Homo-oligomer: A and B are copies of this chain.
Amino acid sequence: MPDALAQLQTAIGHQFEAPDLLVKALRHRSVGAHNNERLEFLGDGLLNFVIAHALYQARPDVPEGDLSRLRATLVRESTLARVAQGLKLGDLVELGQGERASGGHRRASIRADALEAVIGAVYLDGGFESAAGVVKTLWRDELTTLPDAESLKDSKTRLQEWLQARGLALPVYRVISESGPVHKRQFVAECQCATVACQGEGSSRRKAEQNAAAACLTQLLTEANVDA
Residues of A within 8 A of B (CB): 37-38, 40-42, 44-46, 48-49, 52-53, 56, 63-64, 67-68, 123, 128-129, 132
Neighbouring B residues of A45 by C-beta, 8 Å: 48-49, 52-53
**A70 CB, nearest partner CB in chain B, Å:** 10
Query: B38 contacts A67, CB within 8 Å?
Result: yes
Neighbouring B residues of A40 by C-beta, 8 Å: 64
> What are 10 contact pairs spanning A and B, CB under 8 A?
A38-B67, A41-B56, A41-B64, A41-B67, A41-B68, A44-B52, A46-B52, A49-B49, A128-B129, A128-B132
Cα A56 to Cα B52 in complex, Å, equals: 21
Cα A12 to Cα B64 in complex, Å, equals: 25
Neighbouring B residues of A56 by C-beta, 8 Å: 38, 41-42
A44 and chain B: residue at smallest CB distance: B52
Neighbouring B residues of A46 by C-beta, 8 Å: 49, 52
A68 and chain B: residue at smallest CB distance: B41
A51 and chain B: residue at smallest CB distance: B45
Cα A64 to Cα B44 in complex, Å, equals: 11
**A39 CB, nearest partner CB in chain B, Å:** 9
Q: Beyond the given A37-B64, A41-B52, could you list 5 further A-B residue pairs with CB under 8 A, ordered by the A residue number?
A: A38-B56, A41-B56, A41-B64, A45-B48, A45-B53
**A149 CB, nearest partner CB in chain B, Å:** 13
A40 and chain B: residue at smallest CB distance: B64
Cα A97 to Cα B37 in complex, Å, equals: 48
